[in-house]
Amino acid sequence: MKLNFSTISWENGIVKILDQTLLPNEETYKIIRTPSEMAEAIKSLRVRGAPLIGIAAAYGVALAAQNTNKKEEINSAIKLLESTRPTAYNLFYSLNRVKKVLANTTDLQAFIEEADKLKNEDEETCSKIGEYGVSLIPKNARCMTHCNAGALATAGIGTALAPIYLAKDKISNVFVPETRPVLQGARLTAWELTRNNIPATLICDSARGYVLSKGMVDLCIVGADRITRNGDTANKIGTYALAVLAKTNNVPFYVAAPYGTIDTSIASGNEIDIELRGEEEIKKIRGVEIAPKEIKAFNPAFDVTPAEYITAFITENGIQKPPFK
Amino acid sequence: MKLNFSTISWENGIVKILDQTLLPNEETYKIIRTPSEMAEAIKSLRVRGAPLIGIAAAYGVALAAQNTNKKEEINSAIKLLESTRPTAYNLFYSLNRVKKVLANTTDLQAFIEEADKLKNEDEETCSKIGEYGVSLIPKNARCMTHCNAGALATAGIGTALAPIYLAKDKISNVFVPETRPVLQGARLTAWELTRNNIPATLICDSARGYVLSKGMVDLCIVGADRITRNGDTANKIGTYALAVLAKTNNVPFYVAAPYGTIDTSIASGNEIDIELRGEEEIKKIRGVEIAPKEIKAFNPAFDVTPAEYITAFITENGIQKPPFK
């Protein structure tokens, strides 16, 4: 299955990314020419979504290798890209793969090939997650997701949304929580689902409990930024609340993610570093002030859902339960 | 205790309201001259907050009595005002009081007196709720509220925020969830707390779970729009989720409201009529589009928190537990 947009591509020495900060109003592709431009694009969420960040970072290193064959300089680019988002494990997974390339060569072609490989692997991973996930979706399914773990978060058909795309004829509705502060639900998930004719309904994050308590949802599927050995899962802020509310209302709660999202070096969620982002993301919405200047704001970008709230994990290796080895 | 603004006042034949849709950017007082202007002000949330709506509606009837002494016409004004917000019980409580006046007289002065009485009673109720609530607040308390059940929702010092104002010296922080879609937290609670020098921190609604799970909150206090005989409580959308998350994390969850919010004619929350508001409240924020035009939105304005999630109720009669008689 192919969708009608492309999140990232390498074209003759430049990287073209769909600038996700401009969605849903504009579908604009931005040209990235240097590792620092790529780092900016990742930090400012022009490219976002755990799997896509990993691929973008790998292409960012290729951009470095294009301008230098000094190992040290390529390594600085890797370090710069590593520093962009602390919570997404795919970023470190991808850059570790790139580091192995750098151990053997500084040849540009090798870096492009590794990034292309990561991209192709991601496309295939998404398809497999979708195929396994389809089995969990009943007829006339009413789903709920959170944030955007769709095609826009990957190079393929998404992670959480992959089963929904492949089971399209079985879907009667997808509840899309808007996902404050950055509104990935309202801007991105709403955009890609409506664009691909999947029935969807936007709600405020705080209406998720009401909708679940009224029996309007058969299953929840979300993505993940990092999964620990015991199954604790870091994902977009608000995921933990959704998981608790799903359990309270006996609605199954699935996490769909590439197996590479699992960080087996970490035993449990307490050890995950949670990215704190700026106050302005909360105090302004799309540039408009919504709060008094005097008030402080606290903006954790992720939270950790304990494994006990997760019915099962959907990876390219099948439907799985922790612990992971 | 007096705060430094006034939400509503009757002044020589007109009603002056603080237009809450313009906060926090502007503190503007709007003149209301007719019952239909008052109905518009209530529907469009210029005046909001369960207790304040009741008082505003009573003054709205006085505006009618100013222009007519026909019982029928005054009664139409009552009906119009009753139709503005289906969930807030204080609205019906106040208008029932006004109906009793109408049974005896159509004299303007009687309606002004009844509205003034409702206003004075509300001020006193708020103070008593505050006094009882203070006993529940520990030293260096870290509180969380939701929406705005503050001075802006009443004619006095608020309901949920009344204990916080009176225990000011014991408060180390109040977490203020922004309260999408209408942002009563970010715009109103943030405004009144910072204006009165109460330490406060704005968060997104979906960060409430994270903050509770990290042990950053000692108690939650919210208001109520309607409470049933068994203690089930209708309040701003997102209250139910907060109550579930508080219970999951062993944080006490209090509902502060005038005793008149209790609708003893209703046995449980299933019977409460939940107001559905327009899609545009979600799809636009302060006039800015945040979602694709094609997507549907679902906008329940309230939810019901089952009594089992509520540690206790704070009314002007003391700290209480259901059932209510």
Q: What is the pLDDT of residues B15-63, one digit of tens each?
A: 999 999 999 999 999 999 999 999 999 999 999 999 999 999 999 999 9
Question: How far is the alpha carbon of B263 from chain A, nearest alpha carbon, in Å?
Answer: 21
Q: In angstroms, rounded to a whole number, what is the distance separating the alpha carbons of residues B15 and B111?
A: 13
Q: How many residues does chain B have?
A: 325
Q: Do B206 and A203 touch (CB under 8 A)?
A: no
- Per-residue model confidence (pLDDT) at position A195: 93
Q: What's the mean pLDDT when you consider all of chain A?
A: 96
Q: Is B106 helix (H, G, I), strand (E, B) or coil?
A: coil
- Per-residue model confidence (pLDDT) at position B287: 86
Chain B contact for A294 (CB, 8 A cutoff): yes
Which residues are registered as beta bridge partners of A313? A255, A320
**Across the interface, which of A190, A204, A292 has its CB nearest the CB of B237?**
A204
Of A122, A205, A218, A225, which one is the catalytic site residue?
Answer: A225
- Per-residue model confidence (pLDDT) at position A179: 98
Residues 151-180 in B contacting A (C-alpha not used; CB under 8 Å): 175-180
Q: In angstroms, rounded to a whole number, what is the distance separating the alpha carbons of residues A89 and A104?
A: 24
Q: Do B183 and A241 touch (CB under 8 A)?
A: no
Which residues are registered as beta bridge partners of A200? A174
Q: In angstroms, rounded to a whole number, what is the distance separating the alpha carbons of residues B74 and B55?
A: 16
How many angstroms from the chain centroid is the CA of residue A227? 13
Longest dimension (CA), chain B: 61
User: Taking the domain B135-320, which CATH number applies?
Assistant: 3.40.50.10470
H/E stretch holding B111 reads helix B108-134
- Per-residue model confidence (pLDDT) at position B1: 77
Q: In angstroms, rounded to a whole number, what is the distance separating the alpha carbons of residues A237 and A183?
A: 11
Chain B contact for A290 (CB, 8 A cutoff): yes
Backbone angles phi, psi at A244, to 5 degrees: -65, -45
Total Cβ atoms within 10 A of residue A137: 20
Residue B203: list chain A partners with CB under 8 A. Answer: 282, 297-299
- Per-residue model confidence (pLDDT) at position A200: 98
Give the model's confidence band at A325: pLDDT under 50 very low, under 70 low, under 90 confident, else very high.
confident
- B250-285 core/surface letters (b: 16 or more CB in 10 A; e: else): ebebbbbbbbbbbbeebeebeebebbebebebbbeb
How many angstroms from the chain centroid is the CA of residue B164? 16
Give the model's confidence band at A4: pLDDT under 50 very low, under 70 low, under 90 confident, else very high.
confident
- Residue A185 in this model has a pLDDT that exceeds 80: yes
Torsion of CA A213, A216, A222, A227, to 10 degrees: 40
**Burial class of B2 by CB neighbour count within 10 A (0 to 12, 13 to 18, 19+):** exposed
Q: In angstroms, rounded to a whole number, what is the distance separating the alpha carbons of residues B189 and B212?
A: 19
Q: Do A180 and B291 touch (CB under 8 A)?
A: no
Which residues are registered as beta bridge partners of B3? none
Total Cβ atoms within 10 A of residue A52: 27
Chain B contact for A277 (CB, 8 A cutoff): no
Q: Which residues contact A169 (CB under 8 A, 6 or more apart)?
A: none
**Across the interface, which of A209, A237, A296 has its CB nearest the CB of B204?**
A237
Q: Do A24 and B291 touch (CB under 8 A)?
A: yes
Token pair in block for residue B147: 């929406």
- Per-residue model confidence (pLDDT) at position A161: 98
- Residue A319 in this model has a pLDDT that exceeds 80: yes
Q: Give tens-digit pLDDT for A273-284.
A: 899 999 999 999
Q: Is B254 helix (H, G, I), strand (E, B) or coil?
A: strand
Position B160, amino acid: A
Chain A contact for B181 (CB, 8 A cutoff): yes
Give the model's confidence band at B86: pLDDT under 50 very low, under 70 low, under 90 confident, else very high.
confident
Q: In angstroms, rounded to a whole number, what is the distance separating the alpha carbons of residues B21 and B44?
A: 8
Give the model's confidence band at B67: pLDDT under 50 very low, under 70 low, under 90 confident, else very high.
very high
H/E stretch holding A226 reads strand A226-228
Give the model's confidence band at B282: pLDDT under 50 very low, under 70 low, under 90 confident, else very high.
very high
Q: Which CA distances in Å does A175 have to A34, A203, A222, B11, B131?
A: 38, 7, 12, 48, 42
Q: Give tens-digit pLDDT for B302-315.
A: 999 999 999 999 99
Establish whether A225 is a catalytic residue: yes
Residue B172: list chain A partners with CB under 8 A. Answer: none
Q: Indicate the fold that domain B8-127 takes in CATH.
A: Four Helix Bundle (Hemerythrin (Met), subunit A) (1.20.120)
Q: Does a cis peptide bond (omega within 30 degrees of 0) precede residue A323?
A: yes
Chain B contact for A182 (CB, 8 A cutoff): no
What are the catalytic residues of B?
225
Q: In angstroms, rounded to a whole number, what is the distance separating the alpha carbons of residues B60 and B37?
A: 8
Chain A contact for B222 (CB, 8 A cutoff): no
- Residue A1 in this model has a pLDDT that exceeds 80: no
Q: Do B207 and A240 touch (CB under 8 A)?
A: no
CATH 3.40.50.10470 placement within chain B: 135-320
Q: In angstroms, rounded to a whole number, what is the distance separating the alpha carbons of residues B73 and B178?
A: 40
Q: Is A200 helix (H, G, I), strand (E, B) or coil?
A: strand
Give the model's confidence band at A87: pLDDT under 50 very low, under 70 low, under 90 confident, else very high.
confident
**Burial class of A95 by CB neighbour count within 10 A (0 to 12, 13 to 18, 19+):** buried
**Across the interface, which of A200, A248, A285 has its CB nearest the CB of B244?**
A248
**Burial class of A217 by CB neighbour count within 10 A (0 to 12, 13 to 18, 19+):** buried
Give percent helix, percent strand, percent coil of chain A, each to the nearest 5.
45, 20, 35
- Per-residue model confidence (pLDDT) at position B2: 74
- Per-residue model confidence (pLDDT) at position A286: 85
Q: How many residues does chain A have?
A: 325
Q: What's the mean pLDDT when you consider all of chain B?
A: 96
- Residue A2 in this model has a pLDDT that exceeds 80: no
- Per-residue model confidence (pLDDT) at position A287: 86
CB A283 within 8 A of CB B202: yes
Q: In angstroms, rounded to a whole number, what is the distance separating the alpha carbons of residues B55 and B155?
A: 8
Q: In angstroms, rounded to a whole number, what is the distance separating the alpha carbons of residues B41 and B236?
A: 19
Total Cβ atoms within 10 A of residue A308: 10
- For the segment A21-33, the average pLDDT, to the nearest whole number, is 95
- For the segment B241-250, the average pLDDT, to the nearest whole number, is 98
**Across the interface, which of A195, A201, A206 has its CB nearest the CB of B241?**
A206
Residue A240: list chain B partners with CB under 8 A. Answer: 209-210, 213
Q: Does a cis peptide bond (omega within 30 degrees of 0) precede residue A24?
A: yes
Q: In angstroms, rounded to a whole number, what is the distance separating the alpha carbons of residues B321 and B104?
A: 37
Chain A contact for B22 (CB, 8 A cutoff): no
Position B129, amino acid: I
- Residue from B222, B219, B98 nearest B153 by CA: B222
Q: Please give the sequence-ordered ranges of beta strands (E in DSSP) within B183-256, or none if there are none.
A: 200-203, 219-222, 226-228, 233-236, 253-256
- Per-residue model confidence (pLDDT) at position A236: 97
- For the segment B235-254, the average pLDDT, to the nearest whole number, is 98
Q: Give tens-digit pLDDT for A213-239.
A: 999 999 999 999 999 999 999 999 999
- Per-residue model confidence (pLDDT) at position B286: 85
CATH 1.20.120.420 placement within chain A: 8-127
- Per-residue model confidence (pLDDT) at position B325: 84
How many angstroms from the chain centroid is the CA of residue A158? 8
CB B190 within 8 A of CB A292: yes
Question: How far is the alpha carbon of A108 from chain B, nearest alpha carbon, in Å?
Answer: 40
Chain B contact for A250 (CB, 8 A cutoff): no
- Per-residue model confidence (pLDDT) at position B77: 98
Total Cβ atoms within 10 A of residue A249: 16
Q: Which CA distances in Å does B70 have to A292, B102, B106, B108, B147?
A: 46, 10, 7, 11, 39
